[in-house]
Amino acid sequence: MMMTQASSYGRKGLEGLLIMILVLLSYVAILSLLTNAFPSGASLKQVVNGNAILAKLNFLNGHNNKPLMFSNGSYELNLGSESEYFAAIVEKINDVKAKGADSVAWSNAAKGLKLANQDAVQTFSRSSAVIRIDDDSYIDMGENSLIVINRMDNDQLLEEKRTRVVMLAGELRGEVTSSNNQTVQLEVATGKAQTKVVSAVREEHTRFSVKVNTNHSSTITVLEGGAEVTSGDQRVQLQRYSAVVIDENNDIQQPETIPAPVDIDKPLDGAEFFYKDFPGTVTFDWGQQSGAYEYQIVIAADRNFSTVLVDKIIEKSYFSHNNLKAGSYYWKVRGIKGMLQGDFSVSRRLKITQDNTPPILQLSLPEGTVSAGTFLINGTTEPKAVAFINNAPVKISATGAFAHAVELKKGVNIIVVEVLDRAGNVSYVSNNIKAR
């Protein structure tokens, strides 16, 4: 009887264990389905914080508190004054996600996606997005950025368009320009502060950037135009190439001049480099910039800098790369002073070509005996190659033709012609000329 009872208890324990395993497997399956159904994006904490910021902004504006301001920016899509949607993603690089105001899930953001009130956009590592807010005004989200588009008003009576964006992380760059004789205003909220960019005069615009720093402060930079920054009773006027830091307590620090654009030196725009078997070293050089403590160099495989290969911050005014394979590259540099970043230089292009084919070498040499004395050797090779005849350098024309005089002595004269192309490939001809 006791053995029967123990056996019954054992079966029940085994059944209970099986039930627990089945429940665990079901839980894992449900989690997998949820992961596939809801792509990754900002965390729930970030979204909640974003909504809290929006609520605070609405409260502050309702009580006429002064926002953080920053005055006076070009891009082409007719959004329409009466359109339900007030912004659109016109360019994107790599992984960009968006979330509608009434949506729980993040989804992949496609080029051309229209954005309405309370919609959110997020970029990740090595991704970016350009958002048009008006025909001639846009914001460019850098990597690892998160924004919520709070609202857009199109006031027909005042002829003014107003857009508000809540910025939770990352960096925004952009331009604001008046459109169709209407004033265009962009507000960017960072924490409890706000940055207002206003352009009221056609063809006058402001180029700016707003960055949320890792210590929860924010940096506002004016690259073109002018700006007014206010926070509470604090007010600062920014001019071109100036910036201000708003600390974590929303106090405005003393404005500073940002480093001026860097004058890049070498390689020249359109420069070409050649290699035979392994890439050689390419050195990017620029002059020391007054006021810059460091420099940021960016090298990309396209002129829009969507495929970035190098993005480094260094102290020296040069950078060497020894593994750029065949292709075209674009590079630019800017100076950095603490939290302040200067404007990027004009970008330059360079081309790298792999060439392991020896250069052509054609010579006109006599077949019989010639007279001793001065003799002219004519030949053809690749343009921009280097030629030597009996170790003496020879000038090559733009078409690759060359001519060089040698002194022949009576008897047999050995003539050696060598040609070296830009990749290091060599061609040579050795011939005997008999003179009498």
pLDDT tens-digit series, residues 184-226: 878 888 876 667 666 655 556 888 999 998 888 889 999 988 7
| pLDDT at site 31 | 57
Contacts of 147 (CB under 8 A, 6+ apart): 120, 121, 122, 141, 165, 166, 167, 168, 170, 172
Instruction: Give the dihedral of Cα atoms 38, 41, 44, 49; nearest 10 deg.
Output: -150
395 CB-contact burial (10 Å; exposed 0-12 / middle 13-18 / buried 19+): exposed
**Taking the chain, what is the end-to-end CA distance rounded to the nearest angstrom?**
130
Place of tokens 């992961």: 35
Query: Residue 415 corresponds to which tokens in the numbers above?
Result: 């003539």
* Domains delineated in the chain: 46-257 (2.60.120.1440), 264-354 (2.60.40.10), 361-435 (2.60.40.10)
What's the rounded Cα separation, in Å, for the pair 280 and 325? Answer: 9
| pLDDT at site 319 | 97
The string over 138-168, giving b where at least 16 C-beta atoms fall within 10 Å of a residue's C-beta and e elsewhere, is bbbbebbbbbbbbbbebeeeeebbbbbbbbb
Place of tokens 């926002």: 67
- Region class of 172: left (phi > 0), else alpha (psi between -120 and 50), else beta: beta
Which pTM value belongs to this model? 0.71
| pLDDT at site 228 | 77
Contacts of 20 (CB under 8 A, 6+ apart): none
What ranges make up the beta strands (E) of 247-291? 256-257, 264-266, 271-275, 282-286
| pLDDT at site 13 | 62
Query: Residue 132 corresponds to which tokens in the numbers above?
Result: 């048009």
Please, are residues 273 and 255 in contact by the beta-carbon 8 Å criterion? no
What's the rounded Cα separation, in Å, for the pair 355 and 130? Answer: 39
What's the rounded Cα separation, in Å, for the pair 164 and 294? Answer: 33
Phi, psi for residue 262 in degrees, rounded to 5: -75, 140
Query: Residue 389 corresponds to which tokens in the numbers above?
Result: 């005849």
Please, are residues 137 and 186 in contact by the beta-carbon 8 Å criterion? yes
Nearest CA among 48, 356, 340 for reference residue 218? 340
Query: Which segments in the chain show pLDDT lower than 50?
Result: 1-6, 37-38, 44-45, 47-48, 50-85
Give me the half-sphere count of Cα atoms (radius 13 Å) on the Cβ side of residue 45: 1
| pLDDT at site 163 | 84
What's the rounded Cα separation, in Å, for the pair 409 and 432? Answer: 12
Query: Residue 117 corresponds to which tokens in the numbers above?
Result: 């009130």
Nearest CA among 144, 260, 259, 167 for reference residue 218? 167
